């Protein structure tokens, strides 16, 4: 199964905006309401492809956290008569504020998606239109590109559509590394060595994945292409080589090593695995490093003050500062990639023994409990724009990987059903000029 970045797309045409200007969703307003939008399937061309791509747009908008998408069963419009235009009264009757229309044209192994965005209050003139061309096999990426334009139009900020998530899945003695689109589509297996492969982490470019594997007996650190291929072993020190976290520039990897007799945080070269520095030297167990977006700090887990808690140390070493004070068991820190704010997400044990996702804001020193009363929720990882979190959950609606807006608004959405471990959200996709 092909897993390609949206960089494979060739974008045609320019966005056009009506003279009245776009409706802007104030994403900084905590009291904002969600924008109600419809995404009907096109009536021309392949019905199956049209349905798939319109549903992809709808799911993207749901996952973004800014919209409420209207159930197609509620539509009253005569879609065949409308084509790519709209009848304002028909959409106003179902409560739609906006309508996304798409047209799909295929020729051989090529597909072109044309998108048209309408605001019901503005009438029948599209406020945004754009076309995208790419391989037919990557048609979903065209839908993601259009959905991203919708979010950009309303919020003035790019979303995470087109990005990917890696995770491990399998039984106790054997797990493999997988990669999927951020919405759970196009799942592909990256490793197949019959061993225990765990703790995958995307490189900043998205082209490589670091992982710990028992392929040769010892838990060593390997790097493999994000599309699969032969694994390259880069750290095989005696004992544990695990929990890789790439530096923002991709030149270094922080991880846990036990080569000197204790579990401590080290920084190694991403190219050859040579030790650059040792960040911790404590009799306690130090694990699970995570870099700050500017590369100046590293968060990690340590039991140096009793149960496991979250600490932060400078990337050059020095004394560590504890930042988690709520609860006696906190693990798996994940630093928000947003450069304009400083937030850490982690897994914390709640009353009753279940685990939940917490988000700590360094600016106001407040902690948000993102999940509650929905089974155990663990191993958070941030979307590349810092607006959402993916995590594993054992909630009643199904065990798997979920995505939820990072501000706690809205429900978590299941994107992968089944046992999965330690998801890691890759970088934002790139576009060709």
φ, ψ of residue 278 to 5 degrees: the values are -110, 120
Superfamily designation of domain 165-425 = TolB, C-terminal domain (2.120.10.30)
Torsional sign, CA 172, 174, 180, 186? negative
Interatomic CA distance for residues 161 and 363, integer angstroms: 28
pLDDT confidence band for 430 (50 / 70 / 90)? confident
DSSP letters, 247-292, are -TTSSEEEEEE-TTSS-EEEEEETTT--EEEE----SS-EEEEEE-
Interatomic CA distance for residues 266 and 286, integer angstroms: 10
Q: What's the distance, CA 269 to chain centroid?
A: 26
pTM of the shown model: 0.92
Q: Mind listing the pLDDT tens digit for each residue in 96-135?
A: 999 999 999 999 999 999 999 999 999 999 999 999 999 9
Of 301, 218, 190, 319, give the one whose Cα is nearest residue 254: 301
Of 289, 234, 224, 232, give the one whose Cα is nearest residue 256: 289
Burial of 294 (0-12, 13-18, 19+ CB in 10 A): exposed
Q: Mind listing the pLDDT tens digit for each residue in 32-84?
A: 889 999 999 999 999 999 999 999 999 999 999 999 999 999 999 999 999 99
Domain 6-155 top-level CATH class: alpha beta
Beta strand pairing call for 35-38 and 67-69: parallel
Question: How far apart, in Å, are the Cα atoms of 414 and each of 31, 259, 403?
Answer: 25, 39, 7
> For the chain, which residues make up each domain, given as ranges?
6-155, 165-425
Beta carbons within 8 Å of 27's beta carbon, 6+ residues apart: 66, 155, 157, 387
Structure confidence at residue 335 (pLDDT): 97
């Amino acid at each position: 199964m092909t897993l390609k970045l949206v960089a494979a797309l060739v974008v045609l045409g320019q966005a056009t905006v009506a003279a009245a200007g776009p409706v802007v969703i104030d994403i900084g307003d905590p009291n904002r309401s969600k924008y109600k939008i419809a995404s009907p399937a096109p009536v021309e061309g392949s019905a199956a492809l049209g349905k798939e791509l319109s549903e992809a747009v709808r799911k993207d908008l749901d996952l973004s956290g800014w919209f409420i998408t209207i159930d197609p069963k509620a539509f009253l419009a005569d879609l065949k008569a409308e084509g790519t235009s709209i009848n304002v009264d028909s959409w106003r009757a179902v409560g739609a504020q906006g309508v996304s229309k798409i047209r799909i044209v295929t020729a051989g192994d090529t597909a072109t998606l044309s998108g048209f965005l309408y605001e019901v209050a503005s009438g029948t003139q599209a406020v945004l239109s754009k076309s995208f061309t790419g391989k037919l096999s990557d048609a979903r990426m065209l839908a993601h590109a259009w959905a991203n334009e919708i979010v950009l139009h309303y919020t003035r900020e790019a979303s995470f559509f087109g990005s990917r998530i890696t995770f491990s899945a399998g039984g106790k003695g054997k797990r493999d590394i997988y990669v999927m689109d951020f919405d759970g589509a196009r799942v592909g297996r990256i490793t197949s060595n019959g061993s225990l492969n765990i703790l995958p982490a995307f490189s900043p470019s998205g082209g490589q994945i670091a992982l710990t594997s028992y392929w040769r007996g010892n838990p060593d650190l390997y790097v493999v292409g994000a599309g699969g291929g032969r694994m390259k072993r880069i750290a095989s020190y005696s004992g544990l080589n695990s929990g890789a976290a790439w530096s923002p520039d991709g030149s270094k990897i922080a991880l846990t090593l036990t080569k000197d007799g204790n579990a401590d945080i080290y920084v190694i070269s991403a190219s050859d695995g040579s030790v650059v520095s040792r960040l911790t030297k404590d009799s306690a167990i130090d694990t699970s490093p995570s870099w700050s977006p500017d590369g100046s700090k590293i968060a990690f887990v340590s039991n140096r003050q009793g149960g496991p808690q979250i600490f932060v140390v400078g990337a050059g070493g020095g004394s560590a500062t504890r930042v988690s004070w709520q609860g006696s068991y906190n693990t798996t820190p994940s630093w928000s990639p947003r450069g304009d704010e400083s937030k850490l997400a982690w897994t914390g044990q709640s009353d009753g023994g279940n685990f939940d996702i917490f988000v700590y804001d360094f600016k106001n020193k407040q902690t948000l409990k993102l999940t509650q009363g929905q089974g155990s929720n663990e191993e958070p990882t941030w979307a590349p724009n810092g607006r959402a979190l993916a995590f594993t959950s054992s909630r009643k609606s199904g065990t798997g990987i979920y995505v939820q807006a990072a501000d706690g608004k809205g429900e978590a959405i299941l994107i992968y059903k089944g046992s999965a471990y330690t998801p890691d959200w890759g970088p934002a996709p790139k576009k060709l000029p």
